[in-house]
Structure 1
């Protein structure tokens, strides 16, 4: 059976300081090995700092911005792919401050569920 979804900012909800539309998992049978969501960040905004055990790949769809990873920063624009290893804090910034375009990207992460952090002694 084909499952078809459409990326639509109107279907996004507030998460991580941005608007996110969960794409995977979907409401089908079984649980997929990964998750995916479309993210939309308003001009001049930044996502909340995030750190999780999953590896993540960001596919920039539109707009311009910057990704910070563990103190390192790189500019991004449509067509860029950014790899975020698990366990490192990251923040996404929309560099437009003139009311320009929303920065949008597709985030794919795996495994689907975050590995619990070990309790500190």
Structure 2
């Protein structure tokens, strides 16, 4: 483990549609394995990752500066500096951060780093499967894919008869 200063960690940027943010993966920079921590800066009018929840990893959000809103378990609640939100590893932890203010929203996102993990995206009816390394992990994944829930098949579909 190593000490890092956020000022020494490079920002990465993700932009796709209404999603746009800057992120510093602090835990990764410090060599953390079992606990993830990222610093996010969400510009005015933008949203974080699509609305989702994890089935294998608990998350938490801590607002450092600014205001915004949190879509949490289907409802919207305001966010302000000093707010802390626990996000359980189940449907009740479904979330998306929205910056509905005129100033940047800066927050920490923490998570357990359990492997494997399945993410559920209720709005798009998709699931994401991560094996070999959890979301945000550094290791090479043995499986990482997204599936539409409607593509569900019976356990025995496609099995060849051995008789």
Provide TM-score, normalisation by structure 2. Answer: 0.59
Q: Which residue of 2 aligns with 1:106?
A: 108
Greater RCO between the two (CA within 8 Å, min separation 6)?
A: 1
Is contact 2:71–2:96 with CA below 8 Å preserved after alignment? yes
The secondary structure found in structure 2 opposite 1:104 is strand
Between Structure 1 and Structure 2, the one with more helix by share is 2
Is contact 2:9–2:26 with CA below 8 Å preserved after alignment? no
Instruction: Report the structure number with the largest CA radius of gyration.
Output: 2
Q: Which runs of 5+ in 2 are unaligned?
A: 119-128, 130-146, 155-163
Cα distance change on mapping 1:92 and 1:114 into 2, 3 Å: farther
User: Does the alignment pair 1:49 with 2:51?
Assistant: yes
Query: Which one is further off, 82-91 or 2-11?
Result: 2-11
Q: Which residue of 2 aligns with 1:25?
A: 28
**For the aligned residues, what is the CA RMSD?**
2.8
Q: Which runs of 5+ in 1 are unaligned?
A: none
Deviation of 1:35 (Å): 0.4
Aligned residues: 115
